[in-house]
Amino acid sequence: MRRAVDHVDPRRLIPRTNDLLALPAVREARTRLNERVIRELVRDIQEQARRGDLPPDQVEPVLLAAIARRTATTLRPVLNATGVIVHTNLGRAPLSAAAVEAVIAASGYVDVELDLADGSRSRRGAGARAALLAACPAAEDALVVNNGAAALVLATTALAAGREVVVSRGELVEIGAGFRLTDLMESTGARLREVGTTNRTHLHDYVGALGPDTGCVLKVHPSNFRVDGFTSAVPLHDLGPLAQANGVSLVADLGSGLLAPDPHLPDEPDVSSALAAGADVVIASGDKLLGGPQAGLLLGRKEVITRLARHPLARAVRADKLALAALEATVAGGTPPVMQALHADAGQLRRRTERLARELGVPVVPHDGRVGGGGAPGFPLPGWALRLPERLARLLRTGDPAVLPRVHDGSCLIDLRCVPAADDDRVLEAVRHALATLDVANAGRVG
């Protein structure tokens, strides 16, 4: 009589949960990951083995590799090779070394609202305020909130809730993701009083609109588009005297965050010039051309800033200690990465790009960078890029390190403007790996 051959279910060979949790590398991971995250990794890899997607003897090494890669955040660092300096999808401005150090220092207990000399409560963010005023002497006072939209909401609420905001139709801006400034302002209870037309607004349009119901006059820089041709707009230096004569505040929303004029961007408005032209309050973002953290900056006349700071809404939109620390260090520290990229020398960019091109055997093409983030729309920043096959783009985005190229006209372009020179070799190795992966894939299709 023949003996039946016993067949062992391979699922019985999958390591037990307790055995995997007891591995030294898994125990060590508890210093940086909580128990729930670790157990989820264990279960996910065991489930792969149960489905037959992973041999049971590979469960342990795959788990150890996953544990080593896993961090407490899912956000991945990305090398920005698009040539777009203020890239909203990448978190806008990268912080300077000084700002990073300040954030680390502020991550513990800090004197954000405490006078250590006498132990009394102090004004929140006094250091960031002082740094802004030193960098922008035209401002009498400054207030920092959590982002640019919050700054506009606070100004509109405090100055015009239940009243009218007079604004040109040509400045009713919609920015990314369908976000409209009109919706934001109307949510505060203010009523919009539109003047002029899409392409032409004159001083007499404002004169006819101002009256007892006017809360403020708003001037918005249309930062992410341009209207050319038969156009006209009223400059701040004409609106200032009109607003003052009618006893209302003139608010200028500039967006991009330049504190002073920059010769590289001759048409981009700045806070100092806007205040000198008669604006009572200027609104700007901290994480655009200023090069700092996400923050909304309000700079202007002391009387108006004090009114905004005392409004109950100011508490709801105030900046946290990390943003305040990073902002102060950005303004008081060395040149931030955004400004380094903006002022990058085209010749040096070409030499860096050509070195990588020689190593890879790929062509170099002229490529114009952009400010991004709504700043200087259409203004080119001359530079250079590696031209690679378009199919490489996804491999680069999902590689390690992740490299974000620009896909344009059937090519994958690598622009080094926003890549620190110290990371050139990382880009080089990432492209080499992507090219090798693509070669293997091509060979598989041919086979």
| Rg from Cα positions in the chain | 28
**Annotation: CATH topology of 96-333:** Aspartate Aminotransferase; domain 2 (3.40.640)
Residue 372, pLDDT above cutoff 80: yes
d(CA 306, CA 141): 8
Domain ranges of the chain: 11-69, 78-87+340-446, 96-333
Total-model pTM: 0.90
Tens of pLDDT along 263-302? Answer: 889 889 999 999 999 999 999 999 999 999 999 999 999 9
pLDDT computed for residue 209 by the predictor = 93
pLDDT computed for residue 4 by the predictor = 47
- Torsion sign over Cα 196, 201, 204, 206: positive
Strand, helix or coil for residue 239: helix
Cα–Cα distance list, 399 to 81, 275, 388, 402, 437 (Å): 14, 46, 16, 5, 11
Judge whether 123 and 129 are in contact, CB under 8 Å.
yes
Tens of pLDDT along 221-254? Answer: 876 667 777 788 999 999 999 999 999 999 999 9
pLDDT computed for residue 176 by the predictor = 63
Which has the closest alpha carbon to 147: 175, 127, 122, 106? 175
Residue 52's φ and ψ, nearest 5 degrees, are 90, 10
**Annotation: CATH topology of 78-87+340-446:** Aspartate Aminotransferase, domain 1 (3.90.1150)
pLDDT computed for residue 190 by the predictor = 86
pLDDT computed for residue 224 by the predictor = 64
Judge whether 359 and 330 are in contact, CB under 8 Å.
no
d(CA 398, CA 402): 6
End-to-end Cα distance, the chain: 49
Strand, helix or coil for residue 166: strand
33, with CB counted inside 10 A (0-12, 13-18, 19+), is middle
Judge whether 225 and 171 are in contact, CB under 8 Å.
no
d(CA 323, CA 294): 7
Of 182 and 213, the one with more pLDDT: 213
pLDDT computed for residue 178 by the predictor = 64
One-letter identity of residue 218: L
Judge whether 97 and 319 are in contact, CB under 8 Å.
no
Residue 6, pLDDT above cutoff 70: no
Across 167-187, average pLDDT: 78
pLDDT computed for residue 7 by the predictor = 66
The mean predicted confidence, pLDDT, of the chain is 92
- DSSP-assigned letters across all residues of 412-435: EEEE-TTS-GGGHHHHHHHHHHHH
Confidence band of 257 (pLDDT split at 50, 70, 90): confident
Across 143-150, average pLDDT: 95
pLDDT computed for residue 225 by the predictor = 66
pLDDT computed for residue 410 by the predictor = 94
Tens of pLDDT along 194-217? Answer: 999 888 999 999 999 999 999 999
pLDDT computed for residue 2 by the predictor = 46
Tell me the sheet residues that pair with 78: 402
d(CA 370, CA 380): 6
